[in-house]
Each structure stands twice: as C-alpha cells, then as structure tokens.
Structure 1
Amino acid sequence: MLRAIARALATAVSGLCKGAIWTLNFAEQVIRWPFSVIFGSGGGGRPNPHFEPAMSGVELLDEFNANRAHAAAVHELNRDGIDTVVRYAKATPSARSTIDLGGLAKDVRATLLTMDDNELRALANAGVGAVRKFLEGREHGIHGVPVARAIPADNAPTAGMTAEESVLWKVRSKLLKGQQSGDFKLSM
C-alpha cells in the first residue's frame, strides 16, 4: 500500500512539474507573439550570411602581440633621457658602469657621476617632472640632489689636458675620494 501511495504522489508531482513547464512555455509564446508580428519571425527561411575570415588565428595572434608591444613602447619615458637617469639612479653601484649615459648632456653626466648613493636614491624616488627639471638644469625641489649646472668654461685645465679631460679628472677624484674616506664617514 505504501508503494501505491508513493507512486500516486510521484505521478502527481510529475504531472504538476510537466504542467508548470507547459504553462511557462505557453506564457513565453504569448509574450513573444506581439513582437514576432511586429518585427517578423526572426528570419524565417532566409539563409545565414556566409563569412570566411581573411586571416588565420596565428596571424591574428601575431598582430595582437605587435599592437601590444607598440602600445607598451608609447609609455617609455626616455624621450628626454628620464628613463636613463632613473635607471642609473636605481642601479647598484657595480651596475652603474654598464649604463650608457651618452644621450645626456655633459653637465648632467658630470653631476650624475659625482653624486653619492643617498643623492641617487633621492633622485630615483623623485617624480617624472622633478627628474625632467633636473635634466634641464632648473631648480627641481628634490632634497639633497644638486642642480645640474653647466660646466664652467673659466676653469683652466691643467697643463696638457683638454676641458673634457679636466672634468673627467675631477669626477674620478671625487669618486675615489668617496671610496677612500669611507672609514671616516658617520653612519646614518
């Protein structure tokens, strides 16, 4: 008897579910009917347009990668040498000798070569506008970083030296002075 009751309940529930599905389908058709009259039956009998892509998936991926590389290159900051200065300032002391500073002005190169690690760290943490002002030799507002001034021409080079050799000699002497007097510096 329990089986008969269970079958009857299962049949009733099944009938209700089928009835509910039929009711939802009917309601959907009633709602769609005015739109199909106004806008047509959705293409009834018209063939789908033929489309064949002009490029393969590999070509499409190559073009996408090329566009991505081009978009990334637009944001490079090295128009005025900003990227070179920031990269030089962020580099370790041993890696600084491998960075090419040839695109920078002589006074900026001389200033960069005479700066100590604290000044370079402050320059590396500065904003793009301040670094641009540093490159132009204007007041930049970076605390502790000297302004890149033009190399004075009135400094008489020592006997047998050109002006550039004199500047290089001064830069080397300041660099070596920083290395030699490291024992007597105060730790900060």
Structure 2
Amino acid sequence: MLRAIANVIARMFKAGAGALRWTENFVLSPFRAIFGGGGALPNPEFSPTMTSTDLLEEYEANRQAQAWLQRTDRDGTETVMKNAASSAAARATIDLSPVRSDARLTLLTMDDVELKALAAASPSKVRKWLEGKEHGIFGVPVVTTLSNKPVSAPVQPVVGMTPQARMIWRIQSRLGKPDHSKEFRIA
C-alpha cells in the first residue's frame, strides 16, 4: 500500500518537473530566437605538460617527504614526553637526537617542576613547544630559537665557580635567558 502511494507521488513529481521544463522552454524560446542562445559552449582545450609517470613520481616524493616530516615530528614529541615523565636517573640515558638542538638545550636546563608540567601537556602543545611557538603550558618556558633569541654580548663567568655552577652558567648563557626557569616557577 505504501509502495503504491510512493509510486503515485513520484509520478506526480516527474509530471510536474516535465510540465515546468515545457513551460520554461515555451517562455524562453522567443528570447533564444532573438538573441541566439541555447547552444552548448565548446569544451576548453587542455594539453597536459606532465606525463602520468612524472605526476606519480612527484606525488610519491611529496608523500615520502610528508611522512618523514610527520615521523620526525612524532619522534621528537615522544622523546620529549618520555624524557619529561622519567626520573632524573633515567633522563641521563635517554637519547635526545630526534629533538632539535635549541629545544634540547632548553629541555636540559629545565627543573623537575617544569618537566612535570611538560609531561602532563598534550602532544599538540609539546609539538608547539618544540617549534618554539607560544604553547600554553603553564610553568614551561618557550624554547629559544635563533629567530626569537635576543642578541647580547657574552659575559664572562664569575671567578671561583664550581664546575657544576660553571656548566649551568654556560648552558644558561647560550640560552640567552639567565634566569628563565625562576620566572615561571609553580609554587
């Protein structure tokens, strides 16, 4: 019963569409005769400059480059999150080679509170942190890159520093932010 009703309604719509098309042609035919319209436009000419093999090779090269970029980005993010979540003894054994040098330097100078905040952050925020962008992780300093690093004259270390203090001073002087971890400290 429902199928019969649906068929009747479908026939009515088809008849209505046909009547509307006939009325449109009837009304517009004098204008087409006067202004000369209604013919189909010619197809545009197209002659490709690349063969399908060249196109496929370019596509493969772009795909591999994108996959490499995502893999290195993912490796760096995973390494930073693993380093931040591990203990101080385990951090000494973690390979930081997938992480960029400026982010690695910042990571090595961070204290436990900052590392804990970095470990709790989402991977997208850690990726922004690695790129040196504003990341939104409270208590974690922004990575100092060459583009946002302030240029200053080198300062000589204080005479009589212990070797550990001299190493910390050297790392902080390369960062260009001598007390960067103290201004964002969480209480």
TM-score bin (small chain): 0.3 to 0.5
Return the TM-score normalized by structure 1.
Answer: 0.42
Higher gyration radius (CA): 1
